Amino acid sequence: MKALENNAWVAPLLQVSDPLFPTGGYAHSLGFEQWAYEKAYDSKEDLKQFFLNHAGPALMRQEFPYLREALIAFTEEDFETIIQLDEAINAWKWASEIREASIAQGRGRLRLLKQMWGEDKSLNKYAELFDQGKVMGHHLIVSALQYKILSVPNSAALFAYGYQTLATYISASIKLLRISPESAQDAMHFGLDHLSQWVEDSNAVSVSSAGWFAPLYDIYSARHKTAFSRLFIS
């Protein structure tokens, strides 16, 4: 029984990580739509290389260090650091569609957290800062808040966030690359095989040295806003 109590966070984590959890993520490809078009992606092998050369390194070198720092800040109720992290994320997501997608998904997740765990003190404090315009509500920060509310261990939180990021690309790829669900799951399996290494390697990256330089991806993401046709908002 004690083992079950210690793992009480598992079921709610599955809920908030599920694609059915309505944060609006289904409407976004996080820049992948324009990138796949420009690179003429058409197979699961292209998606696997995207994970190896972009999605995975971006998680490991930039997003995971920020997520880890946000988890610590929420645990210590250090909301000044949360404000600073949110501002930094707003700065390094310079392509407007990517930045707006992060804010839209974060706000959607925050709204649902308030409905389900509205009594949580950290949640109420963050919601107050949001209402005051002191934080933007970026998805990474709200995700960290969610993991804190659910008492998810830090390592599991990073895996869950990594899974959600890869799953967004997988979901978009089925429409964009016209690959089968089986091929998409094969690519997902490939990404998850590498996820533990990305999480482990991110331990050596501090927020002060975090960063992922992919200017071409950002340029294509910005170009997506004026594309003649598109399936996704970002």
DSSP 8-state class, residue 8: T
CA atoms of 137 and 114, how far apart (whole Å): 13
pLDDT tops 60 at residue 1: no
* pLDDT, tens only, 5-49: 578 899 999 988 887 777 766 677 878 888 888 899 999 999 999
Distinct helix (H) and strand (E) counts, the chain: 13, 0
Query: Shortest CA distance to 25 belongs to which of 225, 119, 166?
Result: 166
Contacts of residue 79, defined as CB under 8 A and 6 or more positions apart, other chains included, come to 73, 125, 126, 129
CA atoms of 157 and 162, how far apart (whole Å): 9
pLDDT in the model for residue 81 = 98
Q: Enter the tokens of residue 155.
A: 């390592």
Who wins on pLDDT, 19 or 2?
Answer: 19
pLDDT tops 60 at residue 234: no
Compute CA distances 97 → 32, 46, 51, 135, 137, whole Å: 11, 23, 20, 18, 15
Compute CA distances 88 → 46, 97, 138, whole Å: 31, 17, 10
pLDDT tops 60 at residue 66: yes
Q: Give the pLDDT band of residue 158 (cuts 50, 70, 90).
A: very high
pLDDT in the model for residue 5 = 55
- Positive or negative, the CA dihedral 153, 20, 103, 206 is positive
Which helix (H) or strand (E) segment holds residue 146: the answer is helix 139-149
User: What are the chain's domains?
Assistant: 26-226 (1.10.4190.10)
Q: What is the mean pLDDT of residues 142-168?
A: 95
* pLDDT, tens only, 101-147: 899 999 999 999 999 999 999 999 999 999 999 999 999 999 999 99
